[in-house]
Amino acid sequence: MDTTTTAEAIVASLVAHGISTLYALPGVHNDHLFDALFRASDRIGVIHPRHEQGAGYMALGAAVATGRPSAYAVVPGPGLLNTGAALLTAYAMNAPVLALIGQIPDADIGRGLGHLHEIRDQAGIIARLVDFSARVKAPAEASGLVAQAVAAMFTRRRGPAVLECAIDMWGRPGAGPTQAPLAVTEPPIDEDAIGAAAKLLGAAKRPMIICGGGAQAASAEVTALATMLQAPVLGYRRGRGVLDSRDPLSVTLPLGRELWGEADVVLGVGTRLFYPFQQWGIDDKLAVIRIDSDPEEPARVHAPAVALVGDSGPILRRLLDALPAHNAKRPSRKDEMLERHARWNARFEKLSIQRAFLDAIRAELPDDGILVDEVTQMGFVARLAFPVYRPRTFLSPGYQDNLGWGYATALGAQHARPDVPVVAISGDGGFMFTANELATAVRHRIPLVAVVFTDGAFGNVRRIQAEHYGNRLIACDLANPDFVRFAESFGAAAERAKDPGGLRAALRRGFARRDGPTLIEVPVGPMPSPWEFIHMPKVRGG
């Protein structure tokens, strides 16, 4: 008789998929799971946060910092909903996060009896949030469902997956052997499309490359292609770091818009091209080539000249093989690009308050250190102007732009990448969304450094009310704790930095401390608006 329980099978399957940590918060609905984790503690660790959103965000941070699958587990109903914003953000970021969600007793699902943590149509709610979800209906299905869920996370449009398991299913025996990971099959590369793309790019007078999150695993290929074409590369937010910011061909958002207006052929790699299509305009003088893992994405807004569907790395390698036969000789654009960078840098002088602090961070953060962005004055400018040197070292919350994601997500990134320093930048508004997880950082000795810029306000909202609503300020002032004493009361190291020089020194101390967290409070005043560099008028299509 097979005594392997559903819980044991799921834990063994996580391990088989290389998942060595479960970010999880317990309750009666997953007691069996936690017991199985206890017995497998030589193979898989548990990090327990202080609120379920912390579990979701930590799994998200681990996934985006590594590109590998990560997982979290919570109770149903309120536990699931408490992770809702993290799951939504994981979807928007195409992040491979597996959520294990509890359920009421199997036989009573859908009967509306009002069991502990019951929520109407939990499966229906989940199905709206992710592309792959399923419930474990028998122990023998458990291991296979984990394999299917993880494969789905890396198939077509990447993203999170959810498995539900009823309170009385976890402990049932008869789960059988562990299912090996499924091979993820990529669609065959369309050779005609490769040829068409190589011809278009090879003949282009003003080619340009735009990268999104789907290019993070193809940094070497994008770099080679950019050099071969002398094509500038725009990465904004999720595409930052694909091409090293120190390469003159690496361009910021406003310079990217300028170049979009001049381009004759644009290659979009793993990006929705949201800003170009929605704000900068498109016309038929520009040929757009798309590389995307989601077959529905390339034609969603504008019919592409060529669409290549699949993983960007292998497709770009084929393109690099095919291009030399068609590629026109182009002079180096280095001098031109340096001159254009200098012009935009001069305009960015307006943002010198934010930039001085960001320069201090860049000076102390090693090349492979990770910066986790937030929805703050400092974050907006970091997206525009913080130099990023390596892929997966600038984490930004995608189109959810979900205030408060930062601290807990950065904890997950730091936990999954203990080999590099991670710094989270937050405002006083966003930091307090997950400030409770300072306890998790202390309990699990996670050496994250958090920089909290305190202006006593939801500063971004405040400035909009001041500038556009006749200074009628409402719901934007904040009563803050003393952040240094607050962090110290958890047992974290903490200090206050008054200026960029002080921040540098504090960061040096924080990055050197590898056995626990650091908080650095930086009091600031109102900041200049970055929005003229982000929401810019049309440059094409009349």
Q: For ligand TPP, which residue has the nearest CB?
A: 427
We find the least distance from the C-beta atom of residue 402 to ligand TPP, in angstroms, to be 5
> Rounded distance, CA 56 to CA 236, Å?
24
From 31, 294, 401, 488, residue interacting with ligand TPP (rule: CB under 6 A): 401
Residue 397 makes contact with ligand TPP by CB under 6 A: no
Contact positions vs Mg ion (CB under 5 A):
427-429, 455, 457, 459
Please choose which of ligand TPP, Mg ion, none residue 460 contacts, taking the beta carbon within 5 to 8 angstroms, the exact cut-off set by kind.
ligand TPP
Q: x/- contact string, 445-464, with ligand TPP (CB under 6 A)?
A: --------x-x-xxxxx---
Q: Least CB distance from residue 453 to ligand TPP, whole Å?
A: 6
Cβ contact 251:337 at 8 Å: yes
Measured from the CB atom, the residue of 38 and 399 that comes closer to ligand TPP is 399
CA distance 205 to 328: 9
Q: Binding of ligand TPP at residue 430 (CB under 6 A)? A: yes
- Minimum CB separation from ligand TPP for residue 458, in Å? 4
Minimum distance from residue 455 beta carbon to Mg ion (Å): 4
- Binding residue for ligand TPP, selected from 403, 408, 425, 492, defined by CB under 6 A: 403
Residue 329 class from Cβ within 10 Å (0-12 exposed, 13-18 middle, 19+ buried)?
Answer: exposed
Q: 140, 216, 217, 206: which is closest to 179 by C-alpha? A: 140
What mask, x for binding ligand TPP by CB under 6 A, covers residues 349 to 388? Answer: --------------------------xxx-----------
- From the CB of 426, what's the least distance to ligand TPP, in Å? 6
Residue by residue, DSSP assigns 177-209 as SPPPPPPPPPPPP-HHHHHHHHHHHHH-SSEEE
The CA–CA distances, whole Å, from 372 to 252, 378, 407, 412, 475 equal 18, 11, 8, 11, 26
Query: What does 375 bind: Mg ion, ligand TPP, none (CB cut-off 5 to 8 Å by kind)?
Result: ligand TPP
| Strand partners of residue 105 | none
Burial (Cβ within 10 Å: 0-12, 13-18, ≥19) of residue 132? buried
411 binds, among Mg ion, ligand TPP, none (CB under 5 to 8 A by kind): none
- Dihedral angle over CA of 361, 366, 370, 374, nearest 10: 10
Taking the complex as a whole, the smallest distance from the CB of residue 401 to ligand TPP amounts, in Å, to: 5
Query: Using CA atoms, how far apart are residues 436 and 433, in angstroms rounded to an integer?
Result: 8
Tokens standing for residue 195: 């040829």
Q: What are the beta bridge partners of residue 522?
A: 453
**Nearest CB to ligand TPP, comparing residues 132 and 407:** 407
Q: Which stretches of the chain bind ligand TPP, using CB under 6 A?
A: 375-377, 401-404, 427-430, 453, 455, 457-461
